[in-house]
Structure formats: C-alpha cells, structure tokens
Amino acid sequence: MNNRLNDAMDCRASDRVPFVPAIYEHKAWFVHSTPSIVCRDVKLFTEALLAEYESIHPDALTVGIDVYNVEAEAVGCQVRYYGEGETSVPAIEPDTVLYHGDDDMGSLRMPDPSKDGRMPVNVEVATNIVQALGKEIPVRGAVSGPFSMAASLVGPENFLMLTITKPALVHEVMKFCAEVIQQYATAFVRIGCGIVIFDSQSSPALISPDMYRDFVLKPTQELIRSLQMLGVKNVPLIVGGNTTDILEPYLETGGNNILCDYPADAGEFLLRCSAARRAFRRNIDSSDFITTTPEKLGARTRECLDEGKGYPGFILGTAVAPFGTPLEHLLAIKTAVEEYSGKSSA
Amino acid sequence: MKELQELAEQLINGYSDHVARLTQELLDKGATPQTILNEGLVAGMTVVGERMRSGEMYLPEVLQSASAMHASLKILKPHLVRDGVESRGKILMGTVKGDMHDIGKNLVGIMLEGAGYEIVDLGLNVQAQKFVEAIQTHKPAILGLSAMLTTTMLHMKTTIDAITQAGVRANVKILVGGAPVSQKFADEVGADAYARDAVKAVDKVKELLAA
C-alpha cells in the first residue's frame, strides 16, 4: 500500500512528498471522451480513473469529475451536459435552482444516494476503483461542502444575498445541505472509500472571514466530525483561492490536508499547520498547463517543494488540470517531485 | 447637497427601499437625473469599490449595494434618456463558451455600471460568434471576457481569434479576467488588458478609454 498521503496527513515522514494532482474534467481525456459523457457512464468513468492511475501513478485518486453538481442535481437541480465532442465542464442550469429564499423549505427533499441523480454512478465507480486499487493507494469520493452545495441549490448570487437579508434561513439551508452531503459521503465510506470535501464557494474571494465563521464553520465541523465517527480518520477539506485570511477557522473545521492554493501564503500555512500538526496541500498554478513546457513545470514544482521543505505534512498538488493537459506536463511535475527527494515510485 | 450624501450612504448600506424613495424625492425637488447619478449613485459605488479593495466589504454586501443602485436606476433611467444623458462608454461583456459561472462577470458589471458606464451583458456560456455579432450590433468601446475554469479560459483565445477573423478586432478593446486568468495569459491570447478583480476592472476600463 502506498501510504505517502496517509503519512503526510499524520505529519509522519515518508520517502518523499506525496503528489496529488487535481484531475477532474481532465479524467475524460484519458479515455478519449468528454466530461459530459464520462461523468454519466460507470464503465468509462472507471476506465478513466484506472487510466489516470496507470499514466501518472499519483499518491491518491479522487472519484469526481464535476464535483460541485452532484448533490444539487440529486436534490432536483438540472445539470447542463454538453454534446458530442464538447469538452466543457457540466454545470447547474442557472434557471433550475430549487430554492428561492422563501421561508418554506418544504419543497427540498432528501435524496437517496442509491437512487437519485448521479450519486449511484459515483458510488459504483468508487466501488470499482476501491476493488481494483484500494490496496495500492487511497481512493476518495468527492463531495461538496455545505456552503458550495447551498450556493448551487439557491443560485450563488441569491445565496450570498440571503446571508445578509435572511441569515437564519441560510443556517437552515446549510443544515439541510450538510445532511445531504453526510448521507452521500456515508455511501462512499460504506464501500471502503475515503472522502474529500470541496467547498471553494466559501473562499474569501466570495465571503468574509466573519461570514465563514458565522455560516460555514459549524456545519463543516459537524460534517467532518460525523465522518470521523464513521471511521474516516482524515478528511481533506479543499477551499480554493487565497484562504490565508480564513486559515484559523479553516483549521478549526477539523479538516486535514487543507488546501494552500497557489495564491495563498505558503509561509503562513507552514507556520500554522505545523503548529497544529495538520497537513496542507500546496497547489501549482495550472492556468498554463496546456501551453507551458515540462522544463518550466519542473522548475515551478521545485519552487513549490522548497516552500514546504522539511515539513512531513506537506503535500504537492495542482490547481484543476484543464481538459487536454498533455501527459508529459503532469509527468514533469511528478518527476520533479521524485527527483527532489531522490525517490521514484512505480 | 445633504440628500445626495444620504442617497450615497444608503446605497453603500444596501438599503434599496430607502434609495428608491430618496431618488424620487430628489427628482421631485428638482435635482437633475445626472446630478443624482453622479453625486449619489456613482459617488456611493466608488466608496463601495474602495471598501471592497480594502477588504471592508465582501461580495454579499456589494450585491446589496448593487441592488440598491438598480432600484434607483429603475426610477432614473427614463429621465436620463429624456435628458439625453450619455454614459461614459459602452461595455459589452460575457462569460466565454462552456463556462456557466457569472458571479465575477456580474460583479465587474456592477462596478462599471456604478462608475457610469453602460453595460450590455451577453450572459454566460457565450459562443465566439455571438460576441462577434454583438460587437457589430452594439459597437461597444470595450469587450470584457470572463472565465472561471482552466478548461474554459482557453475559449478566450478562440473568441479573440474569431473577432479578429471577422475584421472587428480594431473596433474594440478587450479586457479579460476570472480566477485562473493572469496578465501573462492575457498577453498570450492577445487581449488589451487584464484585471484581477472588479475594482481593478474599472481602473483598466478608464485607462483603455483614455488611451
């Protein structure tokens, strides 16, 4: 079993820094298909994950393509899927949001992870991957964080406005979303899969640190605690953007393997995460992954690795790899990670 | 004028009802729509922009202020049209093909509208050809392109290439922005400017129009 990621999350030294690239819509590229097709097809989705593993040998795999749509779709929102050859990422149709801020939330129903939307597709894919690779590397199911799911359900702008006009209602919606996510995550845990929570709508790019404390912290803490009670020792919590200003409450969520995205202050993360004995993932900017060169990516990787040098809780990742990222570019990052510590991996 | 100052303050606080009432009262008292626009709404939104830049205001509060601004503009617009008041410039904007995110674009639109520019918003998931046609129809001074994803940001180049091929590139300055976008990327795709946030976008538009 490749335990690099688990060792890092326990802040325990291993042979090298774990490498966990963010491959979501790009998974479809490995099977010469599109995100809209692969995310609805168990066979192709499974093959894509297996191909990702065979091609890159990352230190963990994540089951998820359009990770922010799944829970809201299962509750009843519609997702726009693109036609043949269109590589765009599926997204919630803005006109199909389910909840408009009325005081009555009765129209929202709890989905069944075994039946509703694509939850069963993702859980089945996770089952396949756990069976195929679960003894080799950590496999994690991707779930939304409560704030991001609520933003999908209500519409991001409406939801942000409600934080001011109807804060009590926001708390209610958050509670509902946390419950949906908890049910969905439980379905992953039951088949032996780990969990990653994605909650980038709660980034300081959108809400203030005070709002994070008011609205996000408690339901996220409760969600993570409930997953820990199910036996998931470490629950990664991914919030993109510059999260330096929410680092304290971010750590208070109980999430481990928190994200230090490329605009965030790696020095500050190193200081506070090492004090809290918590792992963090430093992301390489992926905006030029298609157009850059392997040499430039190698140099950038070494710079990132320098930022966490000597800290056993340091994980190297990437921002979301765009669909069509050349394989040699991702491998250049992986090679740089291996060479940095003088350790290669199969 | 005390009422104009109050209008600006209520707009900053995001009180739509108060802003609408004050706008009507000012008109009834004989204030010109242009004065209300410039010394009330634009003045208020300028403070909103400054507070956003300094981290005193975040998106939810800005959206409240924008809602208040729109409540006032709904009353003011017929008067502005009647008086022939021209905007500071027409800005066409949209999120590129395949991208369903529009918070960033909307925020830029709010700040530009609050600075006195006319906005033509094509919405999200806009095909390159639709941008070309809109340039020909609306004849904007500036086109703002937004993308939120690393996968969709590549359509900025497709869009700019289509505009060039259609022979209308020289008619319009192009400003790009969005979470994964950078100055380097803006240079690579042939944009005229890059703005990292909504407040910066207003500065860039002013620079582009002054050039």
pLDDT at A231: 96
A259 close to B (CB below 8 A): no
DSSP A93-141: -GGG-S--S-S--TT-----TTTSTTHHHHHHHHHHHHHHHTTTS-EEE
Whether residue B100 and residue A320 make contact (CB cut-off 8 A), yes or no, is: no
Is pLDDT at A308 greater than 70 in this prediction?
Answer: yes
Whether residue A319 and residue B59 make contact (CB cut-off 8 A), yes or no, is: no
Phi, psi of A146 (to 5 degrees): -60, -40
A250 close to B (CB below 8 A): no
Measured CA to CA in angstroms, residue B27 lies from A188, A233, B36, B69, B185 at distances of 61, 64, 8, 16, 47
A25 close to B (CB below 8 A): yes
CATH number at B90-210: 3.40.50.280
CATH number at A4-341: 3.20.20.210
Mean pLDDT of the residues in chain B: 95
Report whether A11 contacts B137 (CB < 8 A): no
Whether residue B60 and residue A321 make contact (CB cut-off 8 A), yes or no, is: no
Other C-beta atoms within 10 Å of A83: how many? 9
Where are the alpha helices (H) located in chain B, listed in sequence order? Answer: 2-13, 16-28, 33-35, 43-53, 59-82, 103-114, 128-138, 155-165, 183-189, 198-210
Banded pLDDT at A101 (limits 50, 70, 90): low
Instruction: Give ranges for CATH 3.40.50.280 in chain B.
Output: 90-210
**A6-22: average pLDDT:** 96
Banded pLDDT at A103 (limits 50, 70, 90): low
Query: pLDDT by residue (tens digit) across A58-81?
Result: 999 999 999 999 999 999 999 999
pLDDT at B112: 95
B interface residues, A as partner, C-beta within 8 Å:
14, 55, 58-61, 63-64, 67, 97-103, 106, 124-125, 149-154, 179-182, 184-185, 188
Mutation target for B interface from A287, A300, A318: give the one with most B CBs within 10 A: A287
pLDDT at A94: 86
Between CA A37 and CA B29 the distance in angstroms is: 62
A92 close to B (CB below 8 A): yes
Q: The whole model's pTM is what?
A: 0.94
Whether residue A319 and residue B58 make contact (CB cut-off 8 A), yes or no, is: no
Residues of A in contact with B149 (CB under 8 A): 89, 320, 322
* % of chain B at pLDDT higher than 90: 96
Which residue of A165, A207, A287 is in closest CB contact with B185?
A287
Mean pLDDT of the residues in chain A: 95
Is pLDDT at B166 greater than 50 in this prediction?
Answer: yes
Is pLDDT at A344 greater than 90 in this prediction?
Answer: no
A86 close to B (CB below 8 A): yes
* % of chain A at pLDDT higher than 70: 97
* CB < 8 Å from B in window 124-153 of A: none
Is pLDDT at A345 greater than 70 in this prediction?
Answer: no
**A168 contacts: CB under 8 Å, gap ≥ 6:** none
C-alpha angle A213-A214-A217 in degrees, rounded to nearest 5: 45
Other C-beta atoms within 10 Å of B24: how many? 13
pLDDT at A95: 83
Instruction: Calculate how close chain B gets to A291, using CA atoms only, in Å.
Output: 10
pLDDT at B8: 97
pLDDT at A343: 61
Instruction: Calculate how close chain B gets to A183, using CA atoms only, in Å.
Output: 27
Residues of B in contact with A286 (CB under 8 A): 150, 180
A319 close to B (CB below 8 A): yes
Between CA A27 and CA A21 the distance in angstroms is: 11
Report whether B191 contacts B175 (CB < 8 A): yes
Query: pLDDT by residue (tens digit) across A113-127?
Result: 999 999 999 999 999
A78 close to B (CB below 8 A): no
**One-letter amino acid of A186:** T
pLDDT at A341: 85
Between CA A33 and CA A256 the distance in angstroms is: 33
Instruction: Calculate how close chain A gets to B139, using CA atoms only, in Å.
Output: 28
Is pLDDT at A96 greater than 90 in this prediction?
Answer: no
**A235-253: average pLDDT:** 97
pLDDT at A258: 98
Fold (topology level) of B2-82: 1.10.1240
Query: pLDDT by residue (tens digit) across A21-36?
Result: 999 999 999 999 999 9
Whether residue B60 and residue A322 make contact (CB cut-off 8 A), yes or no, is: no
Is pLDDT at A268 greater than 70 in this prediction?
Answer: yes
A53's tokens: 């593993």
pLDDT at A346: 46
Instruction: Calculate how close chain A gets to B152, using CA atoms only, in Å.
Output: 7
Return the residue of A nearest to B197 by Cα: A205
Instruction: Give ranges for CATH 1.10.1240.10 in chain B.
Output: 2-82
Per-residue burial over B42-70, b if 16 or more Cβ lie within 10 Å, else e, is bbbbbbbbebbeeeebbbbbbbbbbbbbb
Whether residue A205 and residue B179 make contact (CB cut-off 8 A), yes or no, is: yes
Query: pLDDT by residue (tens digit) across B47-99?
Result: 999 999 999 999 999 999 999 999 999 999 999 989 998 899 999 999 999 99
Banded pLDDT at A99 (limits 50, 70, 90): confident
Residues of B in contact with A92 (CB under 8 A): 100
Instruction: Calculate how close chain B gets to A251, using CA atoms only, in Å.
Output: 22
Report whether A66 contacts B129 (CB < 8 A): no
Residues of A in contact with B181 (CB under 8 A): 287
Q: ipTM score of the complex?
A: 0.89
**B35-44: average pLDDT:** 95
Report whether B133 contacts B144 (CB < 8 A): no
